[in-house]
Amino acid sequence: MMWLPTWRGWCLLVLLAACLCAWTARNIHSFLSVTRRVPADVLVIEGWVPDLVLKAAIQEFQQGQYQFIVTSGGPRPRGHLTSDYPTYAAEAAAALRKLGFPQDKIIEAPGEPTLRDRTFHSAQAVKNKLAELNIKQVGLNIVTEGNHARRTWTVFRRVFPEPNRVGVIACPPVEYDPTRWWASSEGAKGTLIEAFGWLHDAIFR
C-alpha cells in the first residue's frame, strides 16, 4: 500500500518548497560571491574579468603585502587572430600595464587550450608557473568577478597543496543588482550557471 499526503499535507509541502525557493533566491548569490582573504604575497587575477575588476585588483595589491600579480587564463575563443594578445592572461597583463602597474610585478600564467574545466586548467597553470619561477608563496588570493568566486576558490584550493593558504576576493558585478539577480537576464543566467558549475565541481572533482 502506498501512502499519500492529505490535501493539507500537499499544501504544507508546496509551502515548504516555496519557502525553500525564496530562501535560495535571496542567498545563493551571496553564497557564490564569497570573499575570504588569507595572508598572501601573491595576487591572482582571472584574465577574463572586466577592467573594473583589474582596477580593484591593483588597489588590493597596493593595500596588501603582495609581491606579484599573476594573470591567468588560456586562449581567447575569438579575437586572438586580430590582436596581440592570444590568451586572457596576456590580455590582462597588457591591461595592467596600461593602467600603470609595473611590468616587473606581473607574471603571466597562460592556461592550455581547452573547451571545459577552464578554471581548473588556469589554476594548474598558476601553480606550475610559480613552481617554475621558484616562488614559494606565503599565500595567494584570487581576484574574480562576483558569483564566480565560490567556484574559483573551490578549484584553486583543490589544486594547491595547502588550501588554507588560498583565499578569494569577489568584486561585485556592475551589470545588475546582486540583491535582485533574478530580475535581469545577465544576473539570472550567470548565477544559475555558476551555481550548477560549483555544484558539479564540488561533487565530481
Instruction: Read off the CATH number of the domain in which 189 is found.
Output: 3.40.50.620
Residue 19 lies in a domain: no
Distance CA(108)–CA(89), nearest Å, equals: 6
Residue 5 lies in a domain: no
The secondary element (H helix, E strand) that includes residue 28 is: helix 7-32
Residue 25 lies in a domain: no
Residue 21 lies in a domain: no
Residue 99 lies in a domain: yes
pLDDT > 70? residue 21:
no
Q: Which amino acid, one-letter code, is at 105?
A: K
What are 28-64's pLDDT values in tens digits?
778 899 999 999 999 999 998 989 999 999 999 999 9
What are 124-182's pLDDT values in tens digits?
999 999 999 999 888 999 999 988 899 999 999 999 989 999 999 999 888 888 888 88
Residue 20 lies in a domain: no
Range of the domain at 44: 31-204
Residue 43 lies in a domain: yes
pTM of the predicted model as reported, rounded to 2 decimal places: 0.85
The secondary element (H helix, E strand) that includes residue 10 is: helix 7-32
Distance CA(144)–CA(169), nearest Å, equals: 6
Distance CA(17)–CA(9), nearest Å, equals: 12
Residue 149 lies in a domain: yes
What are 87-113's pLDDT values in tens digits?
999 999 999 999 999 999 999 999 887
Q: How many domains does the chain have?
A: 1
